[in-house]
Amino acid sequence: MDPNGEIVEEAEEDNGFRRFDVVSDDSDHHYVKLNRTANSDADCFSNAASGVYSKIMQEWKILEKNLPDSIFVRVYERRIDLLRAVIVGAVGTPYHDGLFAFDLAFPPDYPAHPPQVHYRSFGLRLNPNLYANGRVCLSLLNTWVGRKKEKWDPSQSTVLQVLVSLQGLVLNEKPYFNEPGHGVLPGRSLWEKNSMAYSETVFALSCKTMLFMLRKPPKNFEALIAAHFRDRALFILEACNAYTDGRVKVGYYRGDGSSSSSSSSSSSTVHVSHTFKTSMQKVFPDLVHTFTRNGASLGNFVEQVKQDRKKASSQTQAAVHKKQGIAIKFISKLKMILGLKKSRKSNGVVGSTANNRTEIEG
């Protein structure tokens, strides 16, 4: 039920989590202290007769009826100026199966100005438009340059457009090209190579974001996050292996070892950087452990992690023994050299003394 006493329609995902709902706990919202100063215009958010209040109620209705299956929104009964959204990363992108949380705040003069948007980054930057400090750069929010038709239009723009833009334009197939200047100059093959390397980094950071979301889920989304990763855990781990082994380009795994894009051939091995392999070797065991604790059934992946750890331990011991052997050989050789020098020096002293005695006797 919204502040006007109207029943909110139940828009639900397969796991039973409503895509839109009104909640009460806003305690961990990024903008919870905004619009609450003594000199603020906060009355516009509590006065049902105000234009701002009416416009926000319209936004609620638009979201209730039109949210896509992969975007979830929570609004607050006592703070209609705040909103939180969680977006599912789209198939065919390095963000696939990830969950990305955004906190929004309506300004007192809404819709004259767009809402403020903060990305819950956990200190990670996995997109040119999403900064580690939570800043979101998007033309529709007037936080980035763009043509007039791409900017916020008080008469037409909506929060739904903002959320769909974040999913489709920001968390896209090739985020490397979101950076101004990338791909502008000639040299397509080099740009594509750089884009693939960037997507590797993005996927590794997306996996880390999954861990953070499970360990410290944003309030009112705990059930969604837990259910989502229980359902998608196996697919995510299969994708990790497919990308690390070079069977599929990062972002294009579709569940049968093949690619979801015609531009990504699965008939030949894809080049995988050492940096990506190292990153995945570190994050993969954490994913398995965290997914297991979350209740996912992971089949052979738990055993894979155990075998990988044994192999890594054996390799480490072998490397240590090799270094120790090299060190022992070096020390032995050094001792031999020093011993030889000492022997020669002693012989030299004895010979010199004998000669001196001969000269004196003579």
Instruction: Give the residue from 145, 179, 139, 178 showing the smallest Cα distance to 162.
Output: 139
Give the C-alpha distances (Å, rounded to integers) separating 95 from 36, 64, 168, 202, 283: 35, 25, 11, 7, 16
Catalytic pick from 44, 137, 207, 240?
137
Q: How far apart are CA 339 and CA 174, in angstroms?
A: 65
Are 142 and 152 contacting, i.e. CB atoms less than 8 angstroms apart? yes
Are 310 and 316 contacting, i.e. CB atoms less than 8 angstroms apart? no
Residues written for the chain = 362
Q: How far apart are CA 159 and CA 106, in angstroms?
A: 10
Are 81 and 105 contacting, i.e. CB atoms less than 8 angstroms apart? yes
| Residue 137 designated active-site | yes
Q: Which residues contact 244 (CB under 8 A, 6 or more apart)?
A: 272, 276, 277, 280, 281, 284
What residues are annotated to the active site?
137
